[in-house]
Amino acid sequence: MNQDVRAIFNRIAPVYDQLNNWLSLGQHGIWKEMAVKWSAAKPGDTCLDLCCGSGDLAFRLARHVGVTGHVYGVDFSPNLLAAAQERSQRQYPQPPISWIEADVLNLPFDHNQFDAATMGYGLRNVMDIPRSLQELYRVLKPGGKAAILDFHRPSNQQIRAFQQWYLDHMVVPMAKHLGLKEEYAYISPSLDRFPTGKEQVELAHQVGFALVTHYPIANGMMGVLVVSK
């Protein structure tokens, strides 16, 4: 567990949703809905949302599974989990969600426990991507699906240049205005380190996933890795 990354997410918790909205050019709601659909979550399912943040994907999963299903939202940031819990308490009826503080590299769940899973903007920040995918594989039921949504470096040079300009001239100044410039400066290096869609497909196959597809979206600035056990 990287304590520095954890500390960053604890500090940005109050403005996490606002910054995600800016980062995604206001489109993150659409992409999250796509990820939930690709996870194939259905009424009555037991689902997992990894790196759940303040709960956006978990709430969407809860709407899909209904009162007969259950969702576990997992994050390593107590501040983000507190924000998710608070959002949950404002909803009526209460969504069927349990909020769990845990490390995605060492999940506190049994083998073959979940029908479907999602992960939004988390894989890029874990310390060991293969280990994270391995844990996801372990806890999914045979036939279970997961959809992993994240920002990517586009292969197209012009779009890549636009993304860098946007990060440097829009996102970082916004973060600076909120007193969080250092916290959001980590995004560029994290994008540079992040495996490409093709590399992610290879990593998912290596840990045992039978069916793997990577869907580039937003001109390659985003992507969803869809895996089936």
Look at the chain and report how many structural domains it folds into: 1
pTM over 0.85: yes
> What range does the domain containing 104 cover?
3-228
Q: Can the peptide bond before residue 14 be classed as cis, meaning omega within 30 degrees of 0?
A: no
Dist CA 116 CA 146 (whole Å): 6
Q: Which residues of the chain have pLDDT under 70?
A: 1-6, 8-26, 183
Residue 136, SS3?
A: helix
Dist CA 90 CA 88 (whole Å): 5
Residue 7, SS3?
A: helix
What per-residue confidence (pLDDT) applies to 125?
Answer: 85
What per-residue confidence (pLDDT) applies to 179?
Answer: 75
Tokens matching residue 105: 């590299």
With contact defined as beta carbons under 8 Å apart, do 83 and 16 qualify? yes
With contact defined as beta carbons under 8 Å apart, do 76 and 105 qualify? no
What per-residue confidence (pLDDT) applies to 1?
Answer: 46
Residue 229, SS3?
A: coil
What per-residue confidence (pLDDT) applies to 55?
Answer: 92
Q: Which long-range contacts (CB under 8 A, 24 or more apart) does 169-172 make?
A: 170/22, 171/19, 171/22, 171/23
- What are the backbone angles phi and psi of residue 107, rounded to the nearest 5°? -75, 140
Question: Regarding beta strands 140-151 and 222-228, do their DSSP bridges make them parallel or antiparallel, or are they unpaired?
Answer: antiparallel
Dist CA 60 CA 31 (whole Å): 12
What per-residue confidence (pLDDT) applies to 210?
Answer: 92
Provide the H-helix boundaries in 13-126.
Answer: 16-23, 28-39, 56-65, 78-89
- State the CATH number of the domain containing residue 51: 3.40.50.150
**Beta-ladder partners of 222:** 151, 217
Distances (CA, A) of 102 to 16, 49, 67, 71, 77: 19, 12, 25, 15, 9
What per-residue confidence (pLDDT) applies to 20?
Answer: 67
Amino acid making up residue 62: A
What per-residue confidence (pLDDT) applies to 22?
Answer: 67
Sign of CA dihedral 93, 24, 103, 11: negative
